Amino acid sequence: MVEQRKGFRLSRRLLLGAAVVGGAVLWGGTTVARLARGPSGQKNAGRIADIDGISLPLKPPETSPAFDPSLPWSAKGGAINDASGLSVTPVYGVVEVRQEDDIARALAFARANGLKVSVAAVRHSMGGHAFDDNALVLDLRKFNKVSVDAAARTMTLQPGACWHEIQNLLHPRFAVKAMQSTDIFSVGGSLSVNAHGMDHQAGSVAGSIRSMRVMLADGSVTTCSLSENAELFRHVVGGYGLFGVVLEATLDIVDNAVYRTSREIIKSDDFPTFFAEVLEPNRTIGLFYGHLSTAPGNFLEDMIVYRYDEVADQPPADQPAIGEPGGVGLKRVIMNLAKWGGLFQELKWFTEKTLEPKFESCTVARTAAMAEGEACLVTRNNPMHDSVPYLFNDLRDETDILHEYFIPRAAYNPFIAEAREILRKQSLPVLNASVRIVHGEDLALNYAPEPAYSLVLYINQPTDADGNARMRELTRALIDLTIKNGGRFFLPYQLHYTGKQLLAAYPELPDFLAKKRQYDPTELFSSTFYRALKALSGTA
């Protein structure tokens, strides 16, 4: 009888243990599947409704004009959002632009009916930059034709064209000269923020523009460039869609050079010397990417330097089409696990440092007659053709927010040292941190009046009031640090700064807004972001 009771107790323990293990396996499988799942739709998590205590939402008009049936509406009424998921905004309607005449007629309709107009495409800015309350929104995504002039080494394109498709069109003969480090954005969006990316020699998009045709608020069309209507050019590029609608732009293109890829790990403190002695003087280094550790053990201390050294100016004739990103599900799981704390951040850093090189895709045959032996060779288009699908997920009640801070090069080390402490002491997970190179610019609303390094951060937050409050506190602390070091913060992101911070970073803002009123006296072109700039500058 005693033995039977022991056997019964043992069996019950086994059953309980099996149930626990089975439950853990089931939970783990369900959790991994959830973390690996791509987005099922737009995240709509409400609206950050104020900037520095100033309310942003506007009351709807008592009466709205009837919709012009001749315009190609894709939405009549409704709401719109951006990549943050935190900018839900009611709009009058959305016109799906396919040709230049659609824009002219939409602007005429807005002028006649007292409507504001906003200009939008893929909407990856994060603070209501591409729409406004009760505005008529021009959706340019299908206004996207591209033509290439091989002899002139240019491409002429409409603003809705996305870099991903442009690269497919240029490949294998040519490549983009300047764009962001990912290709998910539209050309119009890149022009509106003066984007920059992996080519540390080419600099920002502004330096690749031959000319632009722009429709102004009164419906007139003008051409501008660095040498023709230069003042308008300086305000349209980096002007956040507030001065007119770009109808087409002619941009430089370059050879689709072949690069030897390499990477090394250095200390962040050594980066300024590394750039000055290795990267900057070596003109054969075509692309560069600096990725900082976000693992607790060496947070913002170690840096992986990715470099691409040119070995040929053209790929072999049989170069295949550009491949799409691989391992998306696994990368998405690793990225989402990193939101859970230090252990998973260490796992992510180990993956980037140790495992990724073993799976690197070498797209140019090693036997090509380039005397490169066993080197891993890629064309310029390959590393620039990353649409980062693993960054987008189906996790509700959270969102991932970009920050970018531009620091004079001499101030890099003290800035990073203090940024490290600020980020360590707060609770929001830092998912990625990278360093870019920017040159001095001569634009009206300029993020880099002198050569600078930029720190790009990708930070996760809950989408509730507490998450927004923590992100606001962190953003303001990093902006204060940036200003103390003589730098500026990038404006396409969330509207968490104060009026004092905005004017300290951009003292030319009042002149920018005055010029806006000169080109657009009735303020036809508007956005939530524009109203925020006016409110904080005292010109509302």
| Residue-wise pLDDT tens digits, 383-441 | 999 899 999 999 999 999 999 999 999 999 999 999 999 999 999 999 999 999 999 99
- Residue 356's pLDDT is what? 80
Domains 146-255 and 258-496 share a fold: no
Percentage of the chain lying above the pLDDT 70 cut: 92
- Residue 8's pLDDT is what? 43
Greater pLDDT, 354 or 199: 199
- Residue 13's pLDDT is what? 54
The fold of the 258-496 domain, in CATH, is Alpha-Beta Plaits (3.30.70)
pLDDT(540) > 80: no
- Cα–Cα distance between 97 and 118 in angstroms, integer? 13
pLDDT(517) > 90: yes
Q: Tell the residue number behind the tokens 């997920």, with chain if given.
A: 393
* Other beta carbons within 10 Å of 531: 21
Where does the pLDDT of residue 9 fall: very low under 50, low under 70, confident under 90, or very high at 90 and above? very low
- Cα–Cα distance between 382 and 198 in angstroms, integer? 12
CATH annotation of 146-255: 3.30.465.10
- Residue 327's pLDDT is what? 87
pLDDT tens digits, residue range 153-202?
999 999 999 999 999 999 999 999 999 989 999 999 999 999 999 999 99
- Residue 355's pLDDT is what? 81
- Residue 317's pLDDT is what? 86
Strands 302-312 and 285-292: antiparallel
3-state class (DSSP) for residue 13: helix
Greater pLDDT, 28 or 141: 141
3-state class (DSSP) for residue 240: coil
Where does the pLDDT of residue 323 fall: very low under 50, low under 70, confident under 90, or very high at 90 and above? confident
- Burial call 292-306: b when 16+ CB within 10 Å, e when fewer: bbbbeebbbebbbbb
**Which residues face 258 on adjacent strands?**
312, 379
Q: What is the mean pLDDT of the chain?
A: 92
Beta strands in 443-505 (DSSP E): 452-462, 488-489
- Residue 371's pLDDT is what? 53
- Cα–Cα distance between 181 and 196 in angstroms, integer? 8
Structure tokens at 176: 């983009």
- Where are the domains positioned within the chain? 146-255, 258-496
**Which residues face 224 on adjacent strands?**
212
Residues 504 and 492: beta-carbon distance below 8 Å = no
- Cα–Cα distance between 210 and 178 in angstroms, integer? 13
* Mean pLDDT along residues 82-90: 97
- Residue 4's pLDDT is what? 46
Residues 272 and 409: beta-carbon distance below 8 Å = yes
pLDDT(18) > 60: no
* Mean pLDDT along residues 450-471: 98
400: left (phi over 0), alpha (psi -120 to 50) or beta: beta
Q: How many CA atoms lie within 13 A of 538 on its CB side?
A: 6
Residues 255 and 176: beta-carbon distance below 8 Å = no
- Cα–Cα distance between 230 and 211 in angstroms, integer? 10
Nearest to 203 by CA among 236, 238, 233, 169: 238
* Mean pLDDT along residues 502-525: 98
Predicted model pTM: 0.93
Beta strands in 77-189 (DSSP E): 79-80, 89-90, 93-96, 117-120, 136-139, 146-149, 154-157, 174-176
In single-letter form, the type of residue at position 112 comes to A
Q: Cα torsion for 527, 531, 533, 535, to the nearest 10°?
A: -170
Nearest to 286 by CA among 312, 304, 265: 312
Where does the pLDDT of residue 507 fall: very low under 50, low under 70, confident under 90, or very high at 90 and above? very high
Structure tokens at 517: 């009123």
